[in-house]
């Protein structure tokens, strides 16, 4: 079910030399999807434009191709879906659906600060998936700044505790690929 992916990206079109700090061996190992059988998580951290969404989509595609159920969403969209479901009294159904997917990809945690109810619902999602399925999170913020998005230090600690218990961390800091491409276009229009 790759139908809801915002774009199709694969590792075939990913230039690892553009982001030398990224562990290519680890990424290619993850693309084999064994972490999903172990219910391990992945966190990709780095500034904007460094390929976090590309890598998350490529891992999602690899998982789909291996037959795993995959859901791709952004943190902001997931939280608004959870809030809407709660208002419409169908939260349990959505939570059950979210807990049963083999790979849940939550992109862009960090750009939009969450309400306290939103942060609690997001925490519940992690809690319900803990050791049941794999979650990929991408964020522009280092862990020490996650409290600024989630509001509460206690909640952030508990969320990170679950998320990072079995985790591979991809460090993706570097120059923005978008900026590099537009600079190259200006040189060679």
**Which helix (H) or strand (E) is 106 found in, with range?**
strand 103-109
Nearer to ligand ADP, 52 or 162 (CB): 52
Q: How far is the CB of 164 from ligand ADP (least distance, A)?
A: 20
Which window, 15-23, 65-73, 97-105, 157-165, contacts ligand ADP (CB under 6 A)?
Answer: 15-23
**Other CB atoms closer than 10 Å to residue 159's CB: what's the count?**
22
* Contact positions with ligand ADP (CB under 6 A) in 25-84: 48-54
How would you class 187 by CB atoms within 10 Å of its CB: exposed for 0-12, middle for 13-18, buried for 19 or more? exposed
Q: Does 105 bind ligand ADP (CB under 6 A)?
A: no
**Which helix (H) or strand (E) is 92 found in, with range?**
helix 91-100
Nearer to Mg ion, 33 or 109 (CB): 109
Separation CA 188–CA 109 (nearest Å): 35
Structure tokens belonging to residue 132? 């049941």
Candidate residues 41, 50, 53, 135; the one interacting with Mg ion per rule CB under 5 A: 53
Contact positions toward ligand ADP, by CB under 6 A?
9, 13-15, 18-19, 48-54, 177-178
Contact positions toward Mg ion, by CB under 5 A?
53
């Amino acid at each position: 079910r790759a139908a809801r992916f915002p774009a199709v990206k694969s590792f075939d079109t990913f230039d690892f030399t553009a982001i030398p700090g990224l562990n290519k061996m680890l990424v290619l190992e993850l693309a084999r999807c064994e972490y999903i059988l172990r219910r391990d998580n992945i966190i990709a951290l780095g500034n904007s434009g460094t390929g976090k969404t590309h890598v998350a989509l490529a891992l999602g595609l690899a998982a789909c191709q291996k037959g795993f159920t995959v859901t791709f969403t952004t943190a902001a969209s997931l939280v608004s879906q959870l809030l809407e479901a709660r208002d419409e009294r169908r939260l349990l159904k959505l939570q059950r659906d979210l807990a049963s997917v083999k790979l849940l990809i939550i992109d862009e945690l960090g750009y939009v600060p969450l309400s306290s109810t939103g942060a609690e619902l997001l925490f519940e999602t992690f809690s319900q998936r803990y050791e049941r399925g794999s979650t990929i999170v991408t964020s522009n913020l280092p862990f020490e700044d996650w409290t600024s998005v989630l509001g509460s230090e206690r909640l952030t600690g508990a969320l990170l505790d679950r998320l990072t218990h079995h985790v591979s961390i991809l460090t993706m800091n570097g120059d923005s690929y978008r900026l590099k491409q537009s600079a190259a276009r200006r040189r060679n229009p």
